[in-house]
Amino acid sequence: MVLIVICGATASGKSGLALKLAQRLNTAIISADSRQVYREFDIGTAKPSIEEQELVKHHLIDICDPTETLTLAEYQQQAQQLINDSPISLLVGGTGLYIKSITKGLKIPRVSPQPELRSQLTALGQIQLYSFLSQVDPTAAAKIHPNDQVRTLRALEVFYVTGKPISSQQGENPPEYPILQIGLDGEPEALETRIRLRTHKMVELGLVQEVQSLCNKYGQDLPLLNTLGYAEFKQYILGNISLEFAIADTILHTRQFAKRQRTWFRAYPEITWFNVDSINLVDDVWQTIKEQL
């Protein structure tokens, strides 16, 4: 059993490389994208096209309705099962935590989201919540910024459901099979050009219509409609900004997101990096795979 990971910032060419490698390896692609798991969120998430999915089997896309929530633990379990069932697996995406859950074998508390509990806790305010967390789980609180409500809520949620601090239920149990991590990167200016071109391409493919359809079907308050790309074009649909501003805003926010992704992945020395603009990219990566695996 062998795992090959292809990671990197958004618009860095991961999907294109993965398609070529999957065909050479005669294997499927396991997505590591936290939004492509949701049905109907297609253009704005750069989900593989029907043609690409027919060319190579893709796993862990379109597995949830937009009104559902896929937890990290559920993703990890499904991805690990796919890896266990294949001699060679190709894990591809830019969601660092998804990838880390597999490569590091993160121990994740099996506690599903508790909407009612979260609502009650949120009403108390972040200052009070963080104070509670500092009392019941000072180890977790020390790792969470006082203003980080998402992680504070999660830590309290796990504590109230299980009766145990989340810090005592976390850790790592790395898999024993070989893992080769391939990272794609490039000059910031080149990545910005890719982001700009991809954003305009999404508009040409019908992103505005996709957002409008999702708003009509699920309502404007659907949480996924507040994510990158969808939030900006929702504002255009609502008449708050122009199409040109929505495009410019999406490019800006995507560039900022890509910068955060690059910072995340650069923290892992086990990743072997390649320049996405190299004319020999596929062959160079293929050679590395043969040498290391």
Structural domain boundaries of the chain?
2-106+174-292, 109-169
Q: Quick check: helix, strand or coil at residue 286?
A: helix
Taking 90 as the threshold, does the pLDDT of residue 168 lie above it? no
Assess contact for 84 and 1: CB atoms under 8 A. yes
Residue 36: predicted pLDDT: 97
CATH of 109-169, one of 1.20.140.10, 3.40.50.2300, 1.10.20.140, 2.40.160.40: 1.10.20.140
Residue written as token pair 């603009």: 277
The model's confidence at residue 14, banded by pLDDT at 50, 70 and 90, is: very high
Least confident among 55-64, 97-106, 111-120, 183-192: 111-120
Residue written as token pair 């977790």: 140
Which ranges of the chain does DSSP label H, i.e. alpha helix? 14-25, 50-55, 72-84, 96-103, 115-122, 126-136, 138-143, 149-162, 188-205, 207-218, 230-237, 243-266, 281-292
The pTM is what?
Answer: 0.88
Taking 90 as the threshold, does the pLDDT of residue 51 lie above it? yes
Q: List the end-to-end C-alpha distance of the chain, in Å, as a whole number.
A: 10
- The count of other CB atoms within 10 Å of the CB of residue 162 is 14
Residue written as token pair 């910024």: 145
Q: Which amino acid is at 268?
A: Y
Q: Quick check: helix, strand or coil at residue 180?
A: strand
CATH of 2-106+174-292, one of 2.60.120.260, 3.30.230.10, 3.30.70.2740, 3.40.50.300: 3.40.50.300
Residue 114: predicted pLDDT: 87
The model's confidence at residue 293, banded by pLDDT at 50, 70 and 90, is: confident
Q: What are phi and psi of 4, to 5 degrees?
A: -110, 125
